Amino acid sequence: MSFSIFQLPQELYDGIVEQLCHRDLIRLSSTCKTYRAHLAPFVFHTIRFGNDERTSNSALAAAKTHGDHVRRLCFTYWAEPESDIEPGEKPPVLKSRALLPPSRQLLEGCATSKADEVHLWLRINGMESDNFEKWNDPLCLLSYIEHPIETRDAEKRYRWRAVLDETNQAIAKNTIINHSFVCPELVEFIADHAETLTCLILVDCVSKYEAAAGGVIPEPSETWALFFSQITAFQPSALVYFSVEYVHKRLVEFRSEEGDIFDNSLARRNERTEETQSTPNGKSLPIWD
């Protein structure tokens, strides 16, 4: 006698399905229409895409067909600053948008009416050169305080900078996101969603990684100080989870080689930052000195 997985109790069925990896879900859903219909909410729960035609077009097509099941968008952008620029020379102004139309539509929420969570991962390969302009060098981009005129000019000339700017603009137009947002910095977005944002996870790409070589956690830069002052001014009433993570490539490499020194210095820093303040909803957040 044949036995169908759908005959199991709902809790057991959900438990089994949640243990399957995404590839297994796709394979199982392709066996018949019944599985396809039942597993669609799991298969299309998260849409992952980049700023390339293949993944962005595929993700947009899936979102248009199964948008009711999409709850999370994951956008990863791999960038490499222009390497064919002579010292002291600036590239011409870009003639077209850097963010592809399908990626923009997804980030704006045009095809995903129920996706209330966005994960934004920016993977930038740095170029270490004394002759490289600061605003085109990811390693010192955020620790170097740009003048707004420099920022706007760089975003018009360097494609990877333009993608960052256009990505922020696209997400700022998304009125559906009200659960959580994962991004290194998007002060403007947080200001617009101060009353609904519940989860904020920041990735530290600002602090000086050289300090870690001496076993000392890098101190927050002026950019962090400005960021936290603005967050405090917004008074996000719905915020219940707030985290700052050090995941700079250099720090990760150092930690794998000198883990004891790094961990001990982190413990010492944690001892100095035990003081906390309460959020409007009673949750506690660390004060970063």
Looking at the structure, tell me whether residues 70 and 161 fall in a common domain.
Answer: yes
In a domain, 116, yes or no: yes
Looking at the structure, tell me whether residues 204 and 142 fall in a common domain.
Answer: no
Looking at the structure, tell me whether residues 136 and 111 fall in a common domain.
Answer: yes
Beta carbons within 10 angstroms of residue 91's beta carbon: 14
Report the number of distinct structural domains present in the chain.
3
Q: What is the dihedral of CA 6, 8, 14, 17, to 10 degrees?
A: -60
Per-residue pLDDT tens for 223-261? 566 667 777 777 888 888 777 665 444 433 333 333 333
Looking at the structure, tell me whether residues 161 and 66 fall in a common domain.
Answer: yes
Looking at the structure, tell me whether residues 67 and 169 fall in a common domain.
Answer: yes
pTM value is: 0.57
In a domain, 258, yes or no: no
Residues of the chain with pLDDT under 50: 1, 127-143, 184, 206, 208-210, 212-213, 247-289
Looking at the structure, tell me whether residues 103 and 126 fall in a common domain.
Answer: yes
Looking at the structure, tell me whether residues 56 and 162 fall in a common domain.
Answer: yes
In a domain, 261, yes or no: no
Residues 218, 266: contact at Cβ < 8 Å? no
State which residues form the domain around 198: 174-253
In a domain, 130, yes or no: yes
Looking at the structure, tell me whether residues 6 and 19 fall in a common domain.
Answer: yes
The pLDDT, as a whole number, for residue 12 is 86
The pLDDT, as a whole number, for residue 64 is 93
Looking at the structure, tell me whether residues 138 and 195 fall in a common domain.
Answer: no
Residue in the block written with tokens 């036995």: 3
Residues 56, 103: contact at Cβ < 8 Å? yes
Give residue 229's identity as a one-letter amino acid code. Answer: S
